[in-house]
Amino acid sequence: MLAGGVIPAGQEVQPFFQPIVSMQTQRVIGYETLGRHIVGNEIRSLGPFFQDPNISDETHLGIDRILRERAIERMSAEKNGAWLFINLKPSWIYRVYRETGMLPTLQFIDKHGMDPARIVIEVTEEEFQGRLEELTQIIEVYRQRGCTIAIDDIGSGSSNYERIASIRPKILKIDLKILKKSATHDGYKALLDSFSILSSQMGASLLVEGVETKQDLHNALKAGARYVQGFLFSPAVPELLPDSAFEDMLKQEIKLYTEQQLHRYRSLFSVQESLNDLITAEAMIGGAEDADALIRSLLGRVADNVVRMYICREDGRQISSNFSRTEECGWEVDEKFRGANWIWRPYFIPNVLRMSVQGQGHLSQVYIDLDSSRPMQTYSCPLNRDHYLFLDLFV
């Protein structure tokens, strides 16, 4: 570690490179450049230097430019087309361009003959005080030159959604270590899922960093990560690695993940088929008592992981009581849910329409139950033209 206030000499800093791997090809597709302070045979992180508030912004920026140019010079000599991911603070981009009308990174690219299409500008997490509209226009200069734009540390708090929407990145980068610190295990998986939806809706690729274990890799796969990065593969190193360095391991883990998911979904579809068989004829439901009577007829025939049952109309209004499984394996009936309306849930109308058109049940994606905080799925099926049965299952 650097001692507080120590400023490294320019000749003592060198860029190191952490590989970024494509899940699509299982090959190394690029590197994030990270600064190191070389003192004799000792290699020290420059993180404490860049985070030291007692060192001026100009000094930070000067060292960062040295590292950037050396990284670009090193990567320009590579003919394999690997990308170079460069971290830039929004405040640096904003201030330098406003003061000089120049972007040093583009000057380094021209100086060393680097193809701009191989450069990924990572806009880092930082509380930005300038005008977002101006920042967006400046970042557009990089994009017009052919660089790819990424947003770093999505979900950390500073990379807010307004900035994401304005900048329109092609890569969204999230750090599993940050998510694990800020949420429960189930909560961080839910956040991963939400970022997967965000990236797909924006037409951006998801890059998951901080992948340290094979379970992290599986979680990244489940979230739809196109690219991954972390100590499971390699720390930042001074030399570039063969493109195929992790290919065998990734193919093996992808095969294992695929087998696990296929087994899981086969089991779920088996549950769905058994639930479909429970409702063999159109049910006659005149009111709450009829709805409760139908559910009572099913209590002894549903699987053990069904923990809640109720019946709703297509307008979202619940007709039946809530039937909830107790710890003693009995059932508790709660009439106060009669009349509750679930139309506010975003999936309700699409699911009802799907069941109405297809005439069969539907099994939802996994979500986190609000009451128990456990992973859950909901199976729903049509009872007649107006009523639908819902069963909540623990996964």
Q: What is the pLDDT of residues 92-149, one digit of tens each?
A: 888 889 899 999 999 999 999 999 999 999 998 777 777 889 989 999 999 999 999 9
Contact 241, 28 (CB under 8 A): yes
What residue segments make up the domains of the chain, in order of their start? 10-237, 262-394
Residues 6 or more apart whose Cβ sits within 8 Å of residue 140: none
Q: What is the pLDDT of residue 263?
A: 81
Q: What is the largest CA-CA distance in the chain?
A: 84
Residue 125 tokens read as 């997490």
- CATH class of this structure's domain 10-237: alpha beta
pTM of the model: 0.76
What is the distance between the alpha carbons of residues 131 and 165, in angstroms, rounded to a whole number? 14
How many other C-beta atoms lie within 10 A of the C-beta of residue 386?
13
Residue 187 in this model has a pLDDT that exceeds 90? no
Q: What is the pLDDT of residue 348?
A: 85
Give the C-alpha separation, 318 to 388, whole Å.
Answer: 9
H or E segment to which residue 345 belongs: none
- Whether the pLDDT of residue 73 is over 90: the answer is yes
Domain spanning 262-394: which superfamily? PAS domain (3.30.450.20)
Q: What is the pLDDT of residue 183?
A: 52
pLDDT of residue 374 exceeding 90, the answer is no
In this prediction, residue 302 carries a pLDDT of: 83
Provide the pLDDT for residue 114: 95
DSSP letter at 384 equals S
Higher pLDDT, 82 or 366: 82
More confident residue, 77 or 6: 77
336-349 pLDDT tens trace: 999 999 998 877 88
User: Do the domains at 10-237 and 262-394 have one common CATH topology?
Assistant: no
Res. 309: pLDDT tops 90: yes
Q: Compute the distance between CA of residue 193 and CA of residue 376 in angstroms, rounded to an integer.
A: 14
Mean pLDDT taken over the chain = 86
- The structure tokens listed for 207 are 């890059």
Average pLDDT over residues 66-86: 94
